[in-house]
Amino acid sequence: MVTLKDIAKEANVSVTSVSNVIHGNYKRVAPETVEKIKMIIEKNNYIPNMTARSLVNKLSKIIGVINRVVPEKSGNFISDPFHSVVIDGIEKKLREKGYYLMIRTVYNEDELFSLLRNWNMDGLILTGLFQDDFFEKLMNAGVPFVLVDSYIDNRKVLNIGLEDCNGGYMATKYLIDKGHRHIVFASPIIKHNGVVEERFKGYKQALKEADIPFESKNVYQQEITITEGIGLGHKLSSRSDVSAIFATADILAAGIISGLNEKGKRVPDDFSVVGFDDLYISSLTAPRLTTIHQDTQEKGKMAAESLIRVIEGFPIASNNITLPVKLVERHSVKDIRHPAI
């Protein structure tokens, strides 16, 4: 991680000169030196340490919620029902603690560093990050942050997560216990060390315990939108060898149910469906959706609470908080163990 001293050494100036440039005190530094220091700062993607900045500029009380995962088709993540509820929880906690919320989607690390250079944010909350170049550069940014739904293996990183594997297991086992043996797994793209991969592991674990062979043809990956879900429902309507579907998001499950209906298939008579998240949409589908419940708003509140404690110098109980899941039984699954005679 590049420090103030490193920049001063490379520019062959004092640390005070670098500090003056960082904080806009250009009158105390020669114009050519200002430009030289700026170039070195930009080259190294240096972000001033928050503690040092606060000595000159008091804490801004601004927390940035950053979305790095940009779906190709589904647009801004704010429109996604799951993220909307998470953000609602974050905003409630920030407002309670006297902080302000900034929401931003960034496509790469350059956009992130440009954002940090232009806004004095006290901390960041990021969703769904993976261990890649973006994360490595984030680690060197010198800004406190907390991750939501990430499986990055780093004990120094704050993460608010979920029993994703257990949730996938519970959903699949529930269908198996109702007599289903040919079960589709529907999800967004399964990325290594991601939330969906954990739910996929739970799905396969339940199949294995029940001595049901895993079949790759029963795995469908696509964007999480109503339109994509409807299209998948159309495809699945012709699968006479399948009786049940586990969708890793309620909005995807809702789309699948609509698509099946459009093709003359009924839930749960022709296909049983289980979702994940227990968002409001799960009570609006026809029939109402059986799903895996998570406290999405609480996840946002805990992310904000943990970050604020770090910013204000208070200890936190754990760097890795895992929230529980439970099955909510409604009317989208048929028990086929004892077919009517």
Cis peptide before 287, with omega less than 30 degrees from 0?
yes
**Cα-based distances in Å from 61 to 24, 93, 119, 311:** 20, 13, 11, 10
Look at residue 145 and tell me if it is in a domain: yes
Query: Parallel, antiparallel, or unpaired for β 183-187 and 145-148?
Result: unpaired
CATH number at residue 203: 3.40.50.2300
Domain match, 172 and 152 both = no
Cis peptide before 268, with omega less than 30 degrees from 0?
yes
**Which band of pLDDT confidence, cut at 50, 70 and 90, is reported for residue 131?**
confident
Residue-wise pLDDT tens digits, 36-52:
988 888 888 776 654 45
Domain match, 265 and 242 both = yes
d(C-alpha 204, C-alpha 208), whole Å: 6
Contact 18, 37 (CB under 8 A): yes
Query: What residues make up the domain containing 11?
Result: 4-46
| Structural domain count, the chain | 3
The yes-or-no verdict on residue 195 having pLDDT over 70 is yes
Residue-wise pLDDT tens digits, 302-319:
999 999 999 888 888 788
The yes-or-no verdict on residue 74 having pLDDT over 50 is no
Quote the Cα angle for 168-174-178, to 5°: 150
Domain match, 180 and 274 both = yes
Domain match, 128 and 197 both = no
Closest to 339 in 3D by CA, of 173, 178, 212, 213: 178
Look at residue 279 and tell me if it is in a domain: yes
DSSP annotation string for 173-200: HHHHHTT--SEEEEES---TTSHHHHHH
The yes-or-no verdict on residue 78 having pLDDT over 90 is no
Instruction: Give the highest mean pLDDT range of 33-47, 107-121, 166-180.
Output: 166-180
**Cα-based distances in Å from 214 to 163, 165, 210, 301:** 22, 16, 11, 38
Domain match, 23 and 110 both = no
Residue-wise pLDDT tens digits, 202-215:
999 999 999 999 99
